[in-house]
Structure 1
């Protein structure tokens, strides 16, 4: 089930990127940790704790300062699809947490990647585009980094409650911004800096609270 949910979530996310401005589609996708907490309560019987919701709200606010969404939804359909991508992503992460102690993280990532590839093959043949060598290099690099990140994310859900792990997905915004500074000289503004502080604060709060509970 998590394989199907993950593939649907990715497809819907790319659809929302194509039909919404990037900031808005990214912001909608960042709702997935909230759905992780909800689904973890339903399927894994994990308690919903007030500090988790508070930390998530803090991290979501920080990501809003960085992404700066305009909420310019020309149609409710793309916005709804963007929200559904977060729903399916949250369901997939929850199922990964359930399978963590039963299946190897390598097996989960392999089956997910295989299923997603097979599901997208028809579209490849419909609109085939031959990449240049430079494009192929960047595509392979993106694939290697994405695979490494997926392995680590899957492993993390194996060793900790889904509701506590999900918040750290917001850190990708911070690291993306730092890489932008390093490689493209994209200096952050004051709002972005404030967003970094909020996201880091939320992550530290979850870590300290989880450690104290343990």
Structure 2
């Protein structure tokens, strides 16, 4: 149990490192080119998530191809939105918006799956929205494309969770992870062609590091859920806000003010509460394979 939770913290630190790499590269390369190379390099560590009983052909042999295509679409759009968000916003601010994901899960659960949603979960939704308003402060601060991109990431992540509730019990993990990485490589590879710029020599190590960080995050989170229940592992994802604040201050000179920190705390508490209620009422860990949805 303890080893699994420690691996989960390491996984989300790795994801935060990948996102910081995106921010570092952001001013120097087009969005789709960043997404292509990071997805390509992320595929290498993620290959080790393969179970002995699986084979590489399983990635392209889904049992429910229609739903897997939706999973690939939501994952690819979320990945592109993540690149835009992290290259244009402070790290901690981007995470605060992305962590609206559990709130969108609550809304989608009610609208799409017709699940009952009690007043406590609606209160968590309201609290999360207040937190976002404190972070973004529309009317007092400039609204950037990155803000909309981060919200798109949260919506795509929530859609992924809903899809995985149906796909999770039947599809192989290698299919769920590998198909999305391959889709990200193909889509970004096509979209980057019109604006392609050969990365400078100084960018290749950062691109490689970002991809390895992302792939290692997937690998570590898979190992973590083999050692500890997903209900214990899932809340560790909110450590990314702490990592983002530390990395942002250390490498990018980003220091959230008091109101922003209160807002981030509200978003985090609302999301954690939603995760707990999901687990208590609907058996969430047994129905959703825990993989990163950003």
TM-score band, normalised by shorter chain? 0.5 to 0.7
User: So what's the TM-score if we normalise by structure 1?
Assistant: 0.66
Residue 107 of structure 2 corresponds to which residue in structure 1?
A: 38
Matches within 5 A, 1:40-189: 40-68=109-137, 72=142, 86-150=154-218, 152=221, 159=230, 172-184=240-252, 186-189=254-257
Distance in 1 separating the partners of 2:125 and 2:174: 28
Q: Secondary structure at the match of 2:161?
A: helix
Aligned-partner SS, 2:199 = coil
Q: What is the CA-CA distance between 1:39 and the residue it aligns to? A: 2.7
Task: Provide the aligned C-alpha RMSD in A.
Answer: 4.2
Which structure has more RCO (C-alpha within 8 Å, separation ≥ 6)?
2
Whether the 8 Å contact between 1:66 and 1:191 is mirrored in structure 2 is yes
Where structure 2 has 5 or more consecutive residues not aligned to the other structure, the ranges are: 1-69, 284-294
Unaligned 5+ residue runs, structure 1?
A: none
**Number of equivalenced pairs:** 202
Asked whether the equivalents of residues 103 and 128 of structure 2 are also in contact (C-alpha less than 8 Å), the reply is no
Which has the larger displacement, 78-87 or 49-58? 78-87
TM-score by length of 2: 0.51
Tell which deviates more after alignment, 4-13 or 101-110. 4-13
Note the C-alpha offset of 1:187.
3.8
Which deviates further from its counterpart, 41-50 or 123-132? 41-50
Q: C-alpha displacement at 1:87, in angstroms?
A: 3.6
Q: 1:97 to 1:125 in 2, by over 3 A?
A: same
Q: How far apart, CA to CA, are the structure 2 residues paired with 1:71 and 1:80?
A: 14
